[in-house]
């Protein structure tokens, strides 16, 4: 819950820095989970293991450079999760072998906190709408192939839902196969494992 709330807070914070105060006016510039969590998305996390938070509203008309600022706002969420994972990694490295925490659940909590944040960041960086990666990737693609950028935004939710459903039905997650090397890389980088 904290990872999702921090992720959405980062979007709102970056939007404000880029000139749009829409999220701030709506009370979304906070770490309070109540402001960010979606009821259905939260229930899905508890019962299915996959869910979502409410997207941060952004009015692109208020941005200085709409294309670049939307890319920055989209990147802020996944980068915030990598920052949390890096902080967890520092705790892991400095306190992990200490006698104070050796016989506690602290190492497991830090491990899973880092893994959840890294997985959330990598998942959101996939270039499939409505994920943040589609906003970042489309920002580049709009200059070279606007038709393809439009198709990614239009058909992305169906593709994403299909991939998730395929993984649940078959037990073979194509999304995890794509994400796993990146998750493993950041786990090694931040935690050394």
Of 153, 131, 123, the residue nearest 55 (C-alpha)? 131
Rounded to a whole number, what is the largest CA-CA distance in the chain? 58
* 85 Cβ neighbours under 8 A, 6+ residues apart: 113, 114, 115, 117, 118, 121, 186, 190
Give me the tens of pLDDT residue by residue for the chain, a chain 193 residues long: 899 999 999 999 999 999 999 999 999 999 999 999 899 988 888 887 777 899 999 999 999 999 899 999 999 999 999 999 999 999 988 886 666 666 778 888 999 999 999 999 999 999 988 899 998 988 788 888 888 888 888 888 999 989 988 998 999 999 999 999 999 999 999 998 8
* Secondary structure of residue 93 in the 3-state scheme: helix
Q: State which residues form the domain around 49.
A: 2-191
Of 81, 60, 83, 57, the residue nearest 71 (C-alpha)? 60
Give me 76's structure tokens: 């802020």
* Burial track 80-118 (b if 16+ CB lie within 10 A, e otherwise): bbbebbbebbebbeeebeeeebeeeebbeebbebbbbbb
Of 183, 169, 77, the residue nearest 122 (C-alpha)? 183
Judge contact between 58 and 22, C-beta under 8 A: yes
Rounded Cα gap, residues 184 and 114, in angstroms? 11
For the chain, the domain total comes to: 1
Query: Taking phi first (over 0 means left), then psi (-120 to 50 degrees means alpha), and beta for anything else, what does residue 172 get?
Result: beta
Judge contact between 133 and 127, C-beta under 8 A: yes
Q: Is the peptide bond before 127 cis (omega within 30 degrees of 0)?
A: no
> How far does CA 47 lie from the centroid of its chain?
20
Rounded Cα gap, residues 163 and 155, in angstroms? 13
Catalytic residue list = 8
pTM of the model: 0.90
Rounded Cα gap, residues 111 and 98, in angstroms? 15
pLDDT digits (tens, 9 = 90+) for 2-23: 999 999 999 999 999 999 999 9
């Amino acid at each position: 819950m904290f990872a999702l709330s921090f992720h959405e807070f980062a979007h709102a914070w970056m939007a404000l820095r880029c000139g749009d105060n829409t999220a701030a006016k709506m009370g979304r510039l906070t770490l309070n989970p109540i402001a960010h969590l979606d009821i259905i998305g939260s229930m899905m996390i508890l019962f299915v293991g996959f869910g979502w938070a409410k997207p941060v509203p952004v009015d692109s008309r208020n941005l200085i450079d709409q294309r670049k600022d939307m890319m920055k706002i989209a990147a802020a969420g996944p980068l915030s999760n990598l920052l949390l994972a890096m902080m967890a990694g520092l705790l892991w490295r400095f306190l992990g072998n200490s006698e104070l925490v050796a016989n506690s659940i602290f190492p497991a909590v830090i491990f899973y906190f880092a893994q959840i944040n890294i997985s959330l960041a990598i998942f959101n960086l996939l270039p499939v709408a409505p994920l943040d990666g589609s906003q970042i990737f489309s920002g580049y693609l709009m200059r070279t192939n606007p038709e393809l950028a439009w198709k990614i935004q239009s058909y992305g939710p169906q593709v994403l839902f299909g991939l998730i459903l395929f993984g649940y039905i078959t037990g073979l997650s194509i999304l995890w196969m794509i994400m796993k090397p990146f998750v493993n890389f950041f786990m090694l980088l931040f935690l050394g494992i």
